[in-house]
Amino acid sequence: MHDTTPRRAAALVAALAGLAAPAAVAAPEGHPVILQWFEQRWLDMEHKIPDYFLSGYGALWLPSPFRASDATSPGYDIFNRFDLGGPGNSTAYGTEEQFRAVVDEFHRAGGLVYLETILNHNSGRSGDLGFQQAGGWPGFWMGPIDSPFKGPTNNWGDFHNGIASGYYQSEDPGGPRYDLHRGDLVALVDIAQESNNQYIRQPVVAGNPQNIPAGSVYNQPDANNARFYPDRDLPGQMVSNPGTFRTPGVINLTFYPFNEPNPMAGDAVAENATGMLMRWLQWMVFEFKIDGFRLDAAKHTPPWFWDQYFDSAVYQIRKAPDGTMTTPYSFVEAVDGNSTIFNNYVRKPNNSNRAGDTWGNRDALDLSGAGALRNLVNAGGFGFWGDVIGAHLDNVDNYNDGTVGVNHVTSHDNGSTGNGSSMPSVPTKRQQGFFAHAYLLFRPGPAIVYHNARGISRSFGFFPREGSPLALGLDPDPDGNGAIESGSATPNATLTNLVHTANEVARGQFFPLSTGGDVLVYERSTPTTGQNYPNGYSANVLIGASDSYGQGFATVNVTTTFPQGTRLHEMTGNAADPIVDPTSAISEVLTVGSGGQVSIRVPHNTSSAGEHNRGFVVYAPALPTVDVQLTNIAGTIPADPASIPPARRRLAEVPYIQSDTFSINVTTTQTDPSDANTDDAALFRFGQGFVDLNGNATVDVTSGEFAGWEQFLTLNQPLFGSGNANGHYAQTIDASNLPEGYNYLSVATFRHRPAGNAPLFDEARKVVYIDRLDPEAEWSNQVGSVGTNSILIQATGTDKTVETVYVLLDVPSGTDPRTLVNASNLASRRDRSLFERTLTGLTHGYHTVSIVAGEDSGRLGVTEYTFFADICVGDTNADGVLNSSDFLEYLNQWSSHDPEADLNPPGGDGVWDSSDFLVYLNFYALGC
């Protein structure tokens, strides 16, 4: 335990009692910071993934990608769960292929993908006769068709009906017909998870009596629907769910896997609505490799659905990067008290007072803690930090240790500005609450930064609320006037520096040291042993945050568990910033005194230089100073120019490599001349890791926070204890072991620490583009012949590097088609890898098509095809009929020396004489 004498005096007021965890409870490590990234089309999001990676994030919360009732909807009025959009019929965010590509790219960047998931309701309730006759909601049965409309007391099949006075509603407990589990949420039709109408809900074969009743538009049989079903010829997995104290009793279910090599081998079987929802969840994990779910409106769905069916459907179905099967991590949205949320919706490991109820992996958004943080931000300096600490969901299991709750400041529902009825203004720096994010990112447990990219145009609510425009390092409103300024948007690393630093030093349990007034000071520390740690803990980082907008700073004296003499460096740059600290009163280095005493100065959000909104400091032992260089760089893919709108503008410059090998070279330097604890080890990984890239035939680290990382074997010379001026690490990489395109490198260089201490390290991230091979696109709708004078060419990129395609007709022999590409022969992009261009003016005979594929590095690849145009030569006006008008048209062409009339020899000789006329007469005589 901590030394309670100084710590538990006035600093730990009654509101904070019981928040310190005993040594027996170890806080989990390795929670990546989650970026909630909304309002961005998938193609634009994929384009900006290098910025996401370089910003330090490790996970994503993405919006619902499924077909909604309106094509521009954010997705909560879900219409068809198995429709993610297609060419010419996209959702607000794009198409299924584009969604698959963006998820794949996030995984290549080492990210986990959590998906917005709606299991409580469909879109707005409609009893319209035409809607019923069209088939209603795909996959759901509305009950028998009722004319002229379906009313509240009619049979609604898979949905809850109402009573004579109207439908039940679930959002207003004081209103009429309130029913939490049977009521519509803001008029969205409520699914009856308990209903048991057995149908094949995505029919495959017409005439099957088990098919859901088909409408004129929806629920029609389609052979392609087989891909939505598991293959029951593959071995099944029996899941034995032990039940919970809420829903006792074992439930046994058998699930079959989807056939990934052959999706059309799926077997359609009858099921109820809950069965379809379970299958849909599994399809998302198997088909798109989703890592988890954010579960919307959870309290409006009965707990037995979560405990028995949701948990069973997702149990051990996700393949982790190391190949093991795991249960996807999910977190519910439940607007309720912390105890109710914990007791009804949380089911996961590490809940110390819920032994035996850890079968699932289901957490909850910390809505109470988020609300307290927003209150603090909006109070403008008149709030109380103790209200925030005491509000967290994590307190419910007796500890504030990161084991329960997903933390955030803002979200699409409760943003920094906006009310959901129209496009919100850009939030001010004050509204974004940087000091609140600093507090949140360094405390234990998963943390979310919410980013509204403003990349979707819509003319009606619901507009997702605003979040943190700086989340990806770009400030779209540098002058703070509340408007997007594309040309003057500038880089701003306030938030991304916090994310990076939290990755490096935020480890251990949470211990508030001072919560008085406007300033909170806390440390993160881990249990350890040894003579230098008489309290049984070793601190890793010290954080100070102020909500005050008074000028200057506050001085706070605290007792830490850092050993005496430890030199602590301010990690955010605020202590060295002349705007934050114009008088240089805030120390860049603190030295810990006797018994762990530290005097820390925490800046308020205003100084004599003006309002800066950076009322925070972070102190930690010096990390290695690291320089990472890559060899064999052939060139650089530039950052986007300032003229590109902020929603799409990418800040990252990306080097590209075209050789078969390259090296990662790491040079380290002693950061603090008075601190001998320099680097003693380094690791690296690309993407999610678990690939042998150093040639020793194994993955070097197989467990713990750094599982999947590799050692430097080409050169491994740590600085610590070497007597050298620098440390050096190097690894030669076989580029053929990395995929073509963008690759995402992380290098962790560790500070030397005594045994038993948590790792502190510098994390360097780099994006590199592997460009060994030409990009390639194939003619996907290829035909051998065509009978018209035009043809639609569809070209499909055969790998993910293809970003542009040019289609050229009849390039002269000996000419490289790559020298002829320009805007006039650029194909239009129809999908992530599908491009189209129509070629016109075809003449009778053989033609060549040159498809030139381009990638971001500027490299071009060519594939060529031949086809035959079987066109009636005499039909000069190309109407398919040969008559006197064609003869007269040819005479006009011939007399005016039109090249089209030069027919002898085939292709013409540049001479217009009687031989051309005789050739035409022969064609005319033959007819079409």
DSSP states along 3-52: -HHHHTSTTS-GGGTT-SPPTTSPPP---PPEEEEES--HHHHHHTHHHH
Residues 884, 924: Cα–Cα separation, whole Å: 10
Using CA atoms of 813, 819, 820, 823 in order, give the dihedral in degrees to the nearest 10.
160
Residues 676, 679: Cα–Cα separation, whole Å: 9
Name which of 188, 302, 278 is nearest 230 in CA terms: 278
Q: Are strands 292-295 and 329-332 parallel, antiparallel or unpaired?
A: parallel
Residues 370, 408: Cα–Cα separation, whole Å: 6
Burial category of 705 from C-beta neighbours within 10 Å (exposed 0-12, middle 13-18, buried 19 and up): middle
b/e burial code for range 120-139 (CB count within 10 A of at least 16 → b): bbbbebbbeeebbeebbbbb
Instruction: Give this prediction's pTM.
Output: 0.92
Residue 284 dihedral angles phi and psi, to the nearest 5°: -65, -35
DSSP-assigned beta bridge partners for residue 834: 796
**Residue 719: strand, helix, or coil:** coil
CB atoms within 10 A of CB 195: 17
* Structure token digits, residue 464: 């997702």
Residue 118 dihedral angles phi and psi, to the nearest 5°: -110, 110
Residues 121, 169: Cα–Cα separation, whole Å: 12
CB atoms within 10 A of CB 106: 28
Burial category of 631 from C-beta neighbours within 10 Å (exposed 0-12, middle 13-18, buried 19 and up): middle
Contact, 468 vs 438, CB < 8 A? no
Residues 6+ apart with CB under 8 A from 763: 56, 500, 503, 504, 746, 747, 748
User: Packing angle between helix 367-378 and helix 434-442, nearest 10 degrees?
Assistant: 150
**Beta-sheet strands, E only, within 274-432:** 292-295, 318-319, 325-326, 329-332, 362-364
Burial category of 206 from C-beta neighbours within 10 Å (exposed 0-12, middle 13-18, buried 19 and up): exposed
Alpha helices in 712-851 (DSSP H): none
Residues 501, 47: Cα–Cα separation, whole Å: 25
In the chain (928 residues long), the average pLDDT of successive 10-residue segments reads: 28 30 34 95 98 98 96 92 97 97 98 98 97 98 97 98 98 96 97 98 98 98 98 97 92 97 97 98 98 97 96 97 96 95 87 64 97 96 93 88 94 92 89 97 96 88 90 92 80 97 96 90 91 83 97 96 97 98 97 97 98 98 98 98 93 98 98 98 98 97 95 98 97 98 98 94 98 98 92 96 98 97 98 98 91 98 94 71 81 84 80 85 74
**Residue 354: strand, helix, or coil:** coil
Residues 764, 748: Cα–Cα separation, whole Å: 7
Edge-to-edge strand list for the sheet holding 777-779: 777-779, 790-797, 834-840, 828-829
Name which of 578, 552, 566 is nearest 523 in CA terms: 566
- Report CA 316 to chain centroid distance, whole Å: 22
Residues 80, 62: Cα–Cα separation, whole Å: 18
Helix (H) or strand (E) holding 387: helix 385-391
